[in-house]
Structure 1
């Protein structure tokens, strides 16, 4: 089987059309819980995740000031019995309700503002009330932040696309344990389902929509 080069995707029109920005943004914040942000846990403290955490905190500060809906999630289970068949040992052993690693990182969480859900699959939209929340708020554009790029970010971005939202992933607001899966998955999302942007561009967009909508 021959190698497929990037030019083949371009020639076949992948990524030819931008998703673009709509009239009302909403933000999902995926799994910025202590399991991923504190280095004392096996999944925690990866440099790209910490970069994403910091940039997401900047983005959320502007979003709250402009009344942008925010849905934040963490992953946790009652026991291994009610989990899917995760192949990640740390997920099976640590992401249990009541474990400190399931707590949201305070850098991204504001209790009196954010809508919080516990998810049990990779996507923040899977069997959670996030879609009804966004529909009630008249959101048409979903900004995806959080971790891990090659897992829950990819799954949530595809679900956002499938629900009919314009889907934007700021590259510096998401992170992975390794750089190559991060880049590969963002590249593939950009070919099919989402626009890849930056924290600064999304801050500008939010401020613009805030002036228009308020």
Structure 2
């Protein structure tokens, strides 16, 4: 294989190991759970943003229950735009389906069993990352959080963006 050929599978994993990208940090002393965008817009088959994520929803409910039972702080993020989408910029104008997430839309409500309970923090966002343009970083810092557990919709978009910004 030449250096220009794409490596996959074990060859790629071995490259990462040799480069030192295989270290684990482990779980910290003060974790928090971030529940990202589990709203009806992604759960309702009639929604233009329906994602067919029933398995992820069930997994999220299990993780959410475990976090609450363990006393781990929970932060929810949700997408919401002002009517007309001025706070969503070009993103809102480009992706017409986001109109279902304007303030007051029933599709912006949390899915059954996924709504915040008293004492849980809610971060309202307009873009993919739960950190971008929100108070999430300062909130987690003030809580002394050193480990984030991520769950949400969609892994290739909002969950990934939030994980990268963490």
The interval holding the TM-score normalised by the smaller chain is: 0.7 to 0.9
How many angstroms does 1:84 deviate by? Answer: 3.0
Which position in structure 1 is the counterpart of 2:89?
84
Which residue does 2:44 correspond to in 1?
Answer: 38
User: In terms of Rg, which structure is larger?
Assistant: 2
Distance 1:8 1:61 in 2: 36
Whole-angstrom CA distance in 2 between matches of 1:11 and 1:64? 39
Residues 12-48 of structure 1: CA deviation (Å, up to 9, x unaligned)? 52642123211111011110011011111021251xx
State how far apart, in whole Å, the 1-side matches of 2:118 and 2:4 are.
54
1:77–1:83 Cα contact (<8 Å) kept: yes
The correspondence of residues 167-206 of structure 1 with structure 2, limited to 5 A, is none
Distance (Å, rounded) in 2 between the aligned partners of 1:108 and 1:56:
8
Listed as ranges, the gaps of 5+ residues in structure 2 are none
Q: How far has the Cα of 1:9 moved from its partner? A: 5.9
Q: Which runs of 4+ in 1 moved over 3 A?
A: none
TM-score by length of 2: 0.85
> Conserved in 2, the CA contact under 8 Å of 1:53 and 1:107?
no
Query: Among residues 102, 106, 110, which one is paired with 1:100 in the alignment?
Result: 106
Residue aligned with 1:54, SS: helix
Instruction: Tell me the equivalent position of 2:117.
Output: 111
Give the deviation of 1:95 after TM superposition.
Answer: 1.5
What aligned pairs does 1:29-68 form with structure 2 within 5 A after superposition?
Answer: 29-46=35-52, 49-68=53-72
Aligned residues: 157
How far has the Cα of 1:122 moved from its partner? Answer: 0.7
- Whole-angstrom CA distance in 2 between matches of 1:14 and 1:153: 25
Which residue is 2:7 aligned to? 5
After TM superposition, give the deviation of residue 2 of structure 1 in Å: 4.0
